[in-house]
Amino acid sequence: MLSFLPPTPSEMMDTLKTKFKQQRKALGYTQTELAKRSDVSLGSLKRFERTGQISMESLLKLAFVLECLEGFEGLCEKENIRFESIDEILDESK
């Protein structure tokens, strides 16, 4: 994949499931413990860590318990950059 292209939804789901699982383990939580602390069902948590699929509410509950909820505040605040040519894109990546 070209580095200047945004990730696909599938790629983002894969990234998020991996990061959340790593954070869970870094904090020393088992899946069962995280499910209880976050009020997310164990089945939903297991599915999320396996497939990346989860409801928005459950994702935010997990993020809160895993101390990464503040990362969601910047969503959709990206500055829109429009390029006129491929040369501008290449210059931007340097």
CATH number of the domain residue 39 falls in: 1.10.260.40
Q: Are 33 and 19 in contact (CB under 8 A)?
A: no
Q: Are 20 and 29 in contact (CB under 8 A)?
A: no
More reliable by pLDDT, 19 or 5: 19
Number of structural domains (the chain) is 1
| Enclosing domain of residue 38 | 6-67
Instruction: Establish if 57 belongs to a structural domain.
Output: yes
Mean pLDDT for all residues in the chain:
89
Angle at the Cα of 33 (from 31 to 38), degrees rounded to 5?
95
pTM here is: 0.77
The percent of residues in the chain predicted with pLDDT above 70, rounded, is 87
Instruction: Establish if 92 belongs to a structural domain.
Output: no
Q: Are 45 and 53 in contact (CB under 8 A)?
A: no
